[in-house]
Amino acid sequence: MKLVLANRLLDRPGGEQKQLLKLARHLVSRGHEVTIVTSYLDRDACYSSEWSGLDVRAVHHGRRRDILPGTSFVSKLQARVRAESLQASDAKAWSHLLPEEVDIINWHGANPQTGYLSSRRSTASSARWVWMCNDLPGPVYELAAQSRVRGSWVRAETYARWLTASPRAVEAVLRAQLPPGPLTVLDETNRWWWRHVFRRDAIVVPWGLDFDGLERAVRRRSPDEPLRLLAAGIMSPFRRFEDTIAAVRIARARGIDARLTIVGAPADAEYVARLRREAADLGDFVRIEGFLPSAEYETLRASSHLLVLTTRGQTWGQVTTECAAAGIPSIVNETATTLELFQDGRSCYVARFGDPTSIADRIVTAASDEDTRIRIARAAQSVARMLSWPRYCETMEEVFVRTLAGVYD
């Protein structure tokens, strides 16, 4: 097969970039022709030895440190690429990057419109599409956070009104924007949303995990050692890091020596500034580090006792499974679809969404009962062993073969 793996941004290691790279390497090893196409390629993130030998094509090239030194790289870059993606020149550039002969185009991530429309104008116009969507569609994602419906959080009355008042309008928008062909998602919750809101079924293909490089013995905390908390993710308001900061303040007031480090690309400079203000009274007990190189992040993770994931509507949260493999249990909120894998009290701790007191309760529990924390960490590690990159890649290859054969038509 001749395949194109496409993504709007290849701007940092990990996440969708790792997923795309693993899949590309697998397909090449199986004798398929693979081209990687993107709107923006960050040279620092993607011009490493891991990418050598692959055909990678980008509309825009650059280096993070050269383009926006001292500023919020991700948010400004995404805004710029989004704007340029709407221009005819950018769509034309996309079409020129596509190979002359393409059997399958696999779009990684949300918002495939630019690539889809561009491919229609190119020699790849007859290619079949497989769309891999890791996150809920924007309209649903923005509704997340009020009342629970089948494992995801939405404003129930808005959800019902939206579906009943204008179903034809919703369907018309989707027909105009989304490519035909099979859709793959990471979890059953996403699949439920696609089926019930957008009348489109999906194939569940969970991500893999580099377990061999992550696994280590669960580390016991000594009685006089602080409870070291880790919060990780792109720094944007939907992550709700402020809930974790408030929870640390509550836990410390209860006599728990909890210390928090927040890491992630600073996608929203104003939000990061607000977090620093909110954590000011906690001094060195809360550190906001921003983006860390892989080696520094791995050292930090190895020294942590607990991951805290407070994100609104988190669809998968690969950081959760990576920490689990490394012997670090998680506090997740009840909106996380990682609960399809982990169970409260057995392989994770679950807190109420948006409730710092509930998070603090779990921090106190973990700090006060080390034997239970160790048991939960080991159970989480066992769950993580079920995830496999080879299994993910083989499943996706099968989806491509079946798509080309017309099975999903």
Q: Express each pLDDT in 73-130 by its tens digit.
A: 333 333 333 333 333 345 566 667 778 889 998 887 655 555 565 565 566 678 888 8
Q: What is the dihedral of CA 59, 65, 67, 71, to 10 degrees?
A: 130
pTM for the model stands at 0.72
DSSP summary character for residue 7: E
Burial 89-98 (b: 16+ CB within 10 A, else e): ebbebbbebb
Cβ 285 vs Cβ 248: under 8 Å = yes
Radius of gyration of the chain (CA): 22
CATH (one of 3.10.450.50, 3.40.50.2000, 3.90.79.10, 3.10.450.200) for 2-208+388-404: 3.40.50.2000
- Domain 211-384 part of CATH 3.40.50.2000: yes
Helices (DSSP H) in 289-350: which residue ranges?
294-302, 318-325
Q: Would you kindly state where each structural domain of the chain is located, as residue ranges?
A: 2-208+388-404, 211-384
Distance of CA 130 to the CA centre of its chain: 19
Alpha carbon of residue 347 to chain centroid: 21
- Same fold across 2-208+388-404 and 211-384: yes
Q: Is 372 exposed, middle or buried (0-12, 13-18, 19+ CB in 10 A)?
A: middle
Q: Which residues contact 301 (CB under 8 A, 6 or more apart)?
A: 230, 322, 323, 326, 328
pLDDT digits (tens, 9 = 90+) for 8-66: 666 555 667 778 888 999 999 999 999 988 776 666 555 566 777 888 877 665 544 33
